[in-house]
Each structure stands twice: as structure tokens, then as C-alpha cells.
Amino acid sequence: MRTILQAGGTLFHVAAAELGDATQWLRIARLNGIDDPMLQGVVRLVLPARDPSAGGGIAEQ
């Protein structure tokens, strides 16, 4: 796992850029205790390891 600073945006964008799959935003949200994928201000996020076989967040809900 690694940590990044993200200035605004969404967890969808972070998941796409960092994990290669926007639908994995929920993995980031759960790891950081976040409910809303819309980010406000500068946020420190812990990222899970890249896992192309991990399911997308939308279907898991």
C-alpha cells in the first residue's frame, strides 16, 4: 500500500489513474473510511495494491 495527496476530484478518477480501473473506487473508499466519492480540499489517501482481478465497486454494493 502507498499514500498519496489528492486535491479535489473524485475517487473514480483516483481509481482510474492509480489502480487502472475507475470501478475500483470503492476499494479506496473502504480503506480510507470514506462514504462519498466526491473529494473536497486536499485529502491524504491510502491506496490498495493494484489488482486487476478485483471486482468493481458498483457491482459489490
Give one DSSP letter per residue of 22-58, joined into a string: GGGHHHHHHHHT---SB--SEEEEEEPPP-TTSPPHH
pTM of the complete model = 0.85
3-23 pLDDT per residue, tens: 999 999 999 999 999 999 999
Return the higher-pLDDT residue of 59 and 11.
11
Comparing CA positions, the residue from 17, 8, 4 lying closest to residue 37 is 8
Q: For residues 50 and 36, what is the distance between their CA atoms, to the nearest angstrom? A: 21
Return the higher-pLDDT residue of 53 and 20.
20
Q: What is the mean pLDDT of the chain?
A: 90
* pLDDT computed for residue 53 by the predictor: 82
* pLDDT computed for residue 61 by the predictor: 46
* pLDDT computed for residue 56 by the predictor: 65
